[in-house]
Amino acid sequence: MVQLYEISWTEAQKLAEKTDVAILPVGSTEQHGPHNPLGTDHLIAAAFAKVVGDRTGVAVLPVVPVGVSEHHRQFPGTLWVSQNVFREYLLEVALAASSHGFRKILFFNGHGGNTAALIEVAGILRRKHNIFSAVLMTFPPGVGGHAGIEETSMNLYYHGQLVHMERAVDTLQREALGPLKITGISKLGSFEYPWDTIDLTDTGVLGTAGKVIESKSATREKGEEIMKQFTEGVIDTVEEIKKAKLSELLSKPHK
């Protein structure tokens, strides 16, 4: 058993003696269309972390369920914290874990809005605290469309009882903000801007401007196929991190 919150302190002590690696799943509580649960990102991150933890024997810390999600705020149920609060909280959780011997902290991140802050936290841990840290997005490269086919299929695979496919919608994305052309989720022409989900979609199913983002054809089988090869690759990398000497992974001294 590797879920930290399910074991006693004596078992945690024995676990830390066996491995210096801990997985910290992180996600969000935010809208994911009318058919997916608000907890999609942290539920997937936690489920994926459990699979990897079970296969590798490394500790899995309790999931952090609220992240940097203010851009979804117009949709009821969405929760968010500032990047500063998020960074400080994750840093202190990681430092607490490291005090017990977990000197390699792997963030399993289910929400893209968290990424910049997590990379910064990983840098602080590695450069200032002699703790190796790295960040993993808990879905394969190329998977796109917030609440679209792929993400909905992953939900169906991990916790299908929470998905209401009868409510799933395919949504044409807007491609203008007033007189300005939206050229990417966060782009107006060549400019980056502080976008909100509502700028592109009223349903919360979100993707490329001007495109129809589909969710109605999602299936559990697609979710399993999406995650199969990706899972094996992540497990291989975690095993390599387990075997590596901590000193080999830390930042080199400044000259």
Tell me, letter by letter, the H, E, C secondary structure of 173-222: CCCEECCEEEEECCEECCEECCCCHHHCCCCCCECCCCCEECCCCCCHHH
Q: Is residue 63 part of a domain?
A: yes
Q: Is residue 198 part of a domain?
A: no
pLDDT digits (tens, 9 = 90+) for 169-218: 999 999 999 999 999 999 999 999 999 999 999 999 999 999 999 999 99
Q: Is residue 202 part of a domain?
A: no
pLDDT digits (tens, 9 = 90+) for 111-145: 999 999 999 999 999 999 999 999 999 999 888 88
CB 34 within 8 Å of CB 40: no
Q: In the predicted model, what is the mean pLDDT of the chain?
A: 96
* 150: helix, strand or coil: helix
Confidence band of 1 (pLDDT split at 50, 70, 90): low
Range of 44's domain?
4-144+218-249
Q: Is residue 26 part of a domain?
A: yes
* CATH number reported for the structural domain that contains residue 94 in this entry: 3.40.50.10310
Domains in the chain: how many in total?
A: 1
Q: Is residue 70 part of a domain?
A: yes
Amino acid making up residue 58: V
Q: Is residue 211 part of a domain?
A: no
Q: Is residue 47 part of a domain?
A: yes
Instruction: Say whether pLDDT at 225 is over 70.
Output: yes
Please name the residue ranges forming H helices in 65-114: 83-98
Q: Is residue 74 part of a domain?
A: yes
Q: What are phi and psi of 21, to 5 degrees?
A: -100, 135
How high is the pLDDT of residue 2? 86
